[in-house]
Chains A and B, each alone.
Chain A
Amino acid sequence: MEARAITIAILAMGGEGGGVLADWIVDLAEHGGYLAQTTSVPGVAQRTGSTIYYIEIFPESEARRAGMDPVLALMPVAGEVDVVIASELMEAGRAVQRGLVTPDRTTLIASTHRVYSMAERTAPGDGRVDSAALLDAARTSAKYFVTQDFAAVAGNAGSVISAALFGALAAAGPLPFAREQFEEAVRRSGAGVEASLAAFRAAANGHVPPPVAPAQEPRLADRIEREFPRPCREILQAGFDRLVDYQDERYAAEFLDRLAPVRDRDRGDFALLRETARYLALWMSYEDAIRVAGLKARAARFERIRQEARVGPAQILEIHDYLYPRIGELADILPAALGHWLLSTAWARRVVELLTRKGKIVQTTSVSGYMKLHLLARMRRSRRRSLRFQTEQRKIGEWLATVVALAGDDYALACEVAECPRLIKGYGETHSRGDAAFGKVMSAVADLRGTSGGAACFRQLRQAALAETSDAC
């Protein structure tokens, strides 16, 4: 067979170290008796956009025998790529889509982690693409598929993904070089060598799955076990625990009471009961200032942040919370009568609005800052008398009654209605917009009830409303 170049494409996003990886491969080849050529299209693609680095290597001995230099290409040809390295899963998908990964010859090395696209990130609900589909495409397209969360491997080793991918390339073996030669190339590059080598080795030594903790039998409240069907118990328990944490045992018991009529009417696979329970628990634990303060003040949060920010023992951690309590939120947690009075009394409004003109940055790790949150959180005891509590319970009651009423004769529509509170999100204006959208969509129930395709129509309405609320910002 005639000598030909070994072709390597690296698909990455600008600023991700694809260039470093390409440089290592060139250096590896040039020191290993190969001629190497690499090209890229930097420019603005470097600014976080997706980009391709392309490398061809050719045995120097063949060139010497021919007495000529090979002509190496500057762009990959679909179907003619030996190695594809993708720094992220969607980029692996892009390589497949462009035909660079083919079952007759391509070794595909891809990290399983996701860097979400702008469309995925800005979607109001869940706009993520299906990672399983990307993995499937990669698996069926490649001759050899090497995959792992190389970002995590690199992160654990205190290095960057390019080093881990280089290690995976060494171990996968599509290139005619020994592992020591790969390591030498990293050493020659001279910067952050030890960290790079640690990541390189972690990836090259292959995937060691973390020990899986034995699945624990979920601890269930007696009532849930006694009164509710098995497929819903986990969700119910999660809701129950949430509401104990949110208010108290009595409130959690009310949650179960409210679900009894839904359970009695659910004659399907309990999808209705499950989803109603989910959104009921979330709604009953609506985020008022008391809840937010309680979550922000707890010790577990301090510990989580300490770990995430990798605070060393000799370092000091300070947490500054960005809060913006406004008149609505204050009235919400006041006793109902007082809350009404505040909202409807012009001079009182003006005073409070003057005091809450600007957002506040509270240093939660200071004593005075912490005290504010602590005292606010303690208002939990009087929550049942608050303005917001009464409003929310009334709305919850109405929604739940609709679900129960539909459950008997239009199960599909009932399921859709059960999921409708998903529209109500966020705080302040975002919350108001969601609330309005919820009301609008719910008003269609009467017309759609019992019609064929009513459930599907309702679902579309709900999705349209979600998109519309997100247009506002």
Chain B
Amino acid sequence: MAERSFKKEVEKLRLGDGEVFHGEGILAVTKALLQSGVSYVAGYQGAPISHLMDVLTDSNDILRELGVLFEHSASEAAAAATLAASVNYPLRGAVTFKSTVGTNVASDALANLASGGVLGGALIVVGEDYGEGSSIMQERSHAFAMKSQMWLLDPRPNLPSIVRAVERGFELSEASHTPVMLELRIRACHVHGRFTARNNVRPQFTLRDAMEHPVRDAGRIVLPPASFRHELEKVRERWPAAQQFIRQHGLNEWFSEGAQDFGIILQGGMYNTTVRALELLGLSDAFGNTKVPLYVLNVTYPLVDEEILRFCAAKRGVLLIEEGQPDFIEQNLNSILRKAGLATKVHGKDVHDNIALPMAGEYTPAVVIEGISKFAGWYAPRLAAARRTAVPAPAALAVAQHVHARPPSFCTGCPERPIFTAMKLVERELGAHHMSCDIGCHLFSILPPFNLGSTTMGYGLGWAGAAAFHAPEDGKRAIGIMGDGGFWHNGLTSGVGNAVFNQNDSLLVVVDNSYTAATGGQDILSSAAQNPIRTTRQSIAEAVRGVGVKWVRTVTRTYDLAWMRDALREALTTKERGPKVIVAQSECMLNRQRREEPAARQAAAAGERVVRQRFGVDADTCTGDHSCIRLSGCPSLTIAPNPDPLRKDPVAIVIDSCVGCGLCGEVAHAAVLCPSFYRVDVISNPSAWERFRARARSEVIGFLQGMA
């Protein structure tokens, strides 16, 4: 079960003609898919697309009513390959994943799909994780659209525009026989807004129709000579068809087109930021009634030459607001203008004189204000003078030294933390080892307090990232880390199969917490829970043995620090050669608490015996050296002012959010730290015997305490 439930919200997917939908962008996308008569949807979770997958999961009943198939794909490649259903049949299909990491994985299938082209509309919804808070490399989906020649939509970030992009996207795809990518920036995915709904549409032609009446066309398959024809088809037929459709249906937008002899061309996704910048510069009102002409590219690839020339023809210069690098659109724009012999000056990521906007980095409002301010200053100094200057806070600079970066970290009670605590303990004995990391919550190991891990090469590639390190007979072994999500995504073949085949002697630790935890707790093959619409409970250890690993250990309780430490030590020191795998199992605490906490509360209220556990630190025996925190980092294990008037250093303290996982006690034992930790069991609705025993104990102990 995923971290966030949309059970209540998905009822909004049933809204009909004229009703107003209020909600999150991602939910609006789902509604738009249903309004477009989509036949099948597939995808792989990952912010900011996780919620789209969760919405689809929670709306499975509604999807079934409409005859829509939904798959949790094994990977983005699997999702993209699903679109093959639209090659030969008039079926509309949509897939979704995080970009650019997911698009990287999917690109083989996408390239094949784009080469042969599609009959039914094929939409790829990518969540662009760029800028502040992003957890991936900073690249552009734009490059994938260009290289495979798929069309790229980047709509204005409001719900009506996003819904329209979905609906028109399918039509564009069908009109040009080309898959279409819909790029949603991270804030647009999570934007709350409203739009007027339309009825859902049940697909006319169904998947069953296709299976009953199969169709094949060798001309759509990538094999010579068809593949060479595909390339010509792309430029001679599909490209012009797309440009014509974009023009005819007005996918791109103009605002105040003739207001000045200069103007701004922008990606649709940058519209709100641009209008806010204009508003603050006194060049627009709050509704986007701008004094500067705007040409908004809701389709950023391909550009429509006629529209560009129309906008630029009577302008001395244009400013291009294009977020991300390389400056693909700017190069394209210059090429179109120069070929047409227009002398309109293009300002954007200028590198020499007249720099308007930076080449790289997020285009925050501050950056765009600066850029437009300069641009307007060059072309209309009087207009630009109206800028309202913000009053800076005097303390902003001085306070910086007191504000620490606060990156994400393992949650309270996280079962992954003890794995890395155990590694720290083993490192004390055996020294540091080379460690190759993966993608997932476990990557937080690279940050304090653990500071473990050297590289991450991508999802599921944790062990492959250590492939070059074959340990000599008497040398140190390298360690690869992989989560259960990455394992099933591709790690079983790219990591485990690869190590077996190449006779690698290193160690893989698979972090098996029953979910793809980092993306929001979605189920996978090895999830421990029964899932009504998916097959779960497949064993990672068996899969590993199945591809030939002989040395496999399963630690079924990662909080058992001694067990975890001993397993690691054995794997790193055993004389046995060959790849070694430790499956480290314990359920993601976030998910476990979400399930167990309400259940325990209910049981206690119903009069059942319930034990609540939490940990504590005795302040009077804590000497304030904090090594317990350095070996754990748990948010619930923190510091407090020392209650002792003689001591100055803060003491360790366990705060209320403690879930009683027991790691701090285990650390105190395994690292032989101090006698300050204790566990408290609070028993609700104890049995008669327990009550009697507790009374007797307290009598005796009370007497002895009186003696002291």
A305 CA / B135 CA spacing, docked (Å): 41
A102 CA / B388 CA spacing, docked (Å): 14
Counting CB contacts under 8 A, is A461 at the interface? no
Counting CB contacts under 8 A, is A427 at the interface? yes
A1 CA / B580 CA spacing, docked (Å): 71
Given contacts A74-B187, A292-B675, A301-B618, A141 and B395 within 8 Å (CB-CB): yes
CB–CB B394/A287 < 8 A = no
User: Binding site of A, secondary structure by majority: helix, strand, loop or mixed?
Assistant: mixed
In the complex, what's the smallest C-beta–C-beta distance from B483 to chain A, in angstroms?
A: 13
Tell me the chain B residues, 70-129 only, with Cβ under 8 Å from chain A.
129
CB–CB A281/B646 < 8 A = yes
Counting CB contacts under 8 A, is B673 at the interface? yes
Q: Which of B257-265, B281-289, B297-305, B337-345 contacts A (4 or more CB under 8 A)?
A: B281-289
**Which residue in chain A gives the minimum CB-CB distance to B394?**
A140
CB–CB B623/A287 < 8 A = yes
Given contacts A77-B366, A96-B399, A122-B448, A49 and B48 within 8 Å (CB-CB): no
B682 partner, pick from A93, A296, A311, A358, beta carbons under 8 A: A311
Tell me the chain A residues, 297-336 only, with Cβ under 8 Å from chain B.
297-299, 301-302, 305, 308-312, 314-324, 326
B133 partner, pick from A41, A72, A371, beta carbons under 8 A: A41
Chain B residues near A446 (CB, 8 Å)? none
Chain A residues near B677 (CB, 8 Å)? 321-322
Counting CB contacts under 8 A, is B638 at the interface? yes
Given contacts A323-B675, A367-B701, A315 and B684 within 8 Å (CB-CB): yes
In the complex, what's the smallest C-beta–C-beta distance from B702 to chain A, in angstroms?
A: 7
A322 CA / B617 CA spacing, docked (Å): 10
Q: Which of B189-197, B503-511, B569-577 contacts A (4 or more CB under 8 A)?
A: B189-197
CB–CB A71/B621 < 8 A = no
CB–CB A13/B411 < 8 A = no
A4 CA / B276 CA spacing, docked (Å): 10
Chain B residues near A42 (CB, 8 Å)? 47-48, 51, 190
Q: Which of A62-70, A256-264, A384-392, A452-460 contacts B (4 or more CB under 8 A)?
A: A62-70
Tell me the chain B residues, 643-702 only, with Cβ under 8 Å from chain A.
645-650, 656, 665, 668-675, 677-686, 690-691, 694, 696-698, 700-702
Tell me the chain A residues, 418-446 only, with Cβ under 8 Å from chain B.
422, 425-430, 434
**Which residue in chain B gives the minimum CB-CB distance to A66?**
B287
Counting CB contacts under 8 A, is B468 at the interface? no
Which interface class (under 10, 10 to 19, 20 to 34, 35 or more) fits B?
A: 35 or more
B410 partner, pick from A43, A47, A78, A137, beta carbons under 8 A: A47
B681 partner, pick from A74, A292, A318, beta carbons under 8 A: A318
Chain B residues near A337 (CB, 8 Å)? none
Given contacts A46-B408, A73-B273, A77-B369, A318 and B683 within 8 Å (CB-CB): yes
CB–CB B280/A80 < 8 A = yes
A181 CA / B608 CA spacing, docked (Å): 40
A93 CA / B22 CA spacing, docked (Å): 34
A196 CA / B193 CA spacing, docked (Å): 26
In the complex, what's the smallest C-beta–C-beta distance from B423 to chain A, in angstroms?
A: 13
Counting CB contacts under 8 A, is A377 at the interface? yes
Chain A 131-145 against B: per-residue CB contact (8 Å), 1 yes, 0 no? 001101110110000
Counting CB contacts under 8 A, is B393 at the interface? yes
Tell me the chain B residues, 606-626 only, with Cβ under 8 Å from chain A.
614, 616, 618, 620-621, 623-626
Chain B residues near A124 (CB, 8 Å)? 625-627
**Which residue in chain A gives the minimum CB-CB distance to B690?**
A316
A374 CA / B624 CA spacing, docked (Å): 25
Given contacts A40-B190, A122-B448, A320-B681, A77 and B133 within 8 Å (CB-CB): no
A296 CA / B700 CA spacing, docked (Å): 16
In the complex, what's the smallest C-beta–C-beta distance from A110 to chain B, in angstroms?
A: 12
Given contacts A41-B133, A48-B408, A292-B621, A75 and B678 within 8 Å (CB-CB): no
**Which residue in chain A gives the minimum CB-CB distance to B290?**
A71
CB–CB B287/A97 < 8 A = no
CB–CB B630/A322 < 8 A = no
Tell me the chain B residues, 488-542 only, with Cβ under 8 Å from chain A.
518
CB–CB B406/A50 < 8 A = yes
CB–CB A321/B47 < 8 A = no
Chain A residues near B186 (CB, 8 Å)? 41, 43
Chain A residues near B310 (CB, 8 Å)? none
CB–CB A90/B403 < 8 A = yes
Instruction: Give the size of the chain A interface in residues (CB under 8 angstroms).
Output: 137
CB–CB A426/B627 < 8 A = yes
Chain A 40-62 against B: per-residue CB contact (8 Å), 1 yes, 0 no? 11111111111100000010001
CB–CB A73/B394 < 8 A = no
CB–CB B668/A359 < 8 A = yes
CB–CB B404/A39 < 8 A = no
CB–CB A322/B679 < 8 A = yes
**Which residue in chain B gives the minimum CB-CB distance to A131?**
B402
Given contacts A118-B449, A359-B669, A282 and B134 within 8 Å (CB-CB): no
In the complex, what's the smallest C-beta–C-beta distance from B316 to chain A, in angstroms?
A: 26
Chain A residues near B391 (CB, 8 Å)? 79, 102-105
Counting CB contacts under 8 A, is A26 at the interface? yes
CB–CB B365/A295 < 8 A = no
CB–CB A426/B674 < 8 A = yes
Given contacts A80-B280, A102-B392, A43 and B646 within 8 Å (CB-CB): no
A298 partner, pick from B276, B691, B705, beta carbons under 8 A: B705
Tell me the chain B residues, 338-381 only, with Cβ under 8 Å from chain A.
364-366, 369
Chain B residues near A85 (CB, 8 Å)? none
Interface-centre pick from A4, A235, A318 (highest chain B CB count, 10 A): A318
Chain A residues near B428 (CB, 8 Å)? 472-473
In the complex, what's the smallest C-beta–C-beta distance from A160 to chain B, in angstroms?
A: 11
A324 partner, pick from B187, B276, B402, B672, beta carbons under 8 A: B672
Q: Which of A30-38, A168-176, A224-232 contacts B (4 or more CB under 8 A)?
A: A30-38
Counting CB contacts under 8 A, is A355 at the interface? no
**Which residue in chain B gives the minimum CB-CB distance to A101?**
B393
Chain A 8-40 against B: per-residue CB contact (8 Å), 1 yes, 0 no? 000001110000000000100010000011111
Chain A 359-386 against B: per-residue CB contact (8 Å), 1 yes, 0 no? 1010011110011001001000000000
A473 CA / B268 CA spacing, docked (Å): 51
Chain A residues near B675 (CB, 8 Å)? 292, 296, 321-324, 427
Chain B residues near A462 (CB, 8 Å)? none
A319 partner, pick from B22, B396, B650, B680, beta carbons under 8 A: B680
Chain A residues near B402 (CB, 8 Å)? 90, 93, 129-130, 133-134, 137
Counting CB contacts under 8 A, is A234 at the interface? yes
CB–CB A96/B135 < 8 A = no
A458 CA / B608 CA spacing, docked (Å): 62
Counting CB contacts under 8 A, is B475 at the interface? no
Given contacts A48-B635, A322-B668, A430-B625, A126 and B682 within 8 Å (CB-CB): no
In the complex, what's the smallest C-beta–C-beta distance from B422 to chain A, in angstroms?
A: 13
Counting CB contacts under 8 A, is A278 at the interface? yes
Chain A residues near B48 (CB, 8 Å)? 42-43
CB–CB B672/A317 < 8 A = no
CB–CB B665/A322 < 8 A = yes
CB–CB B678/A122 < 8 A = no
Counting CB contacts under 8 A, is A167 at the interface? no
**Which residue in chain A gives the minimum CB-CB distance to B699?**
A367
Given contacts A45-B408, A94-B403, A430 and B627 within 8 Å (CB-CB): yes
- The 3 A-B residue pairs whose C-beta atoms are closest, nearest first, are A79-B390, A359-B669, A49-B408
List, sorted by A's number, 7 A–B pairs whose CB atoms are closer than 8 Å: A75-B364, A96-B395, A104-B391, A296-B678, A316-B690, A320-B681, A359-B669
User: Knowing that A126-B650, A365-B694 are A-B contacts, what are 19 other residue pairs whose CB atoms are under 8 Å apart, sorted by A's residue number?
Assistant: A38-B192, A42-B51, A43-B48, A63-B287, A66-B287, A71-B288, A73-B276, A74-B273, A97-B396, A101-B393, A121-B638, A129-B404, A134-B399, A309-B680, A319-B679, A365-B701, A367-B700, A426-B674, A473-B630
A interface residues with partner B (beta carbon < 8 Å): 2-5, 13-15, 26, 30, 36-51, 58, 62-63, 66, 68-80, 90, 93-94, 96-99, 101-105, 115-126, 128-130, 133-134, 136-138, 140-141, 155, 234-235, 238-239, 242, 278, 281-282, 287, 291-292, 294-299, 301-302, 305, 308-312, 314-324, 326, 358-359, 361, 364-367, 370-371, 374, 377, 422, 425-430, 434, 469-470, 472-473
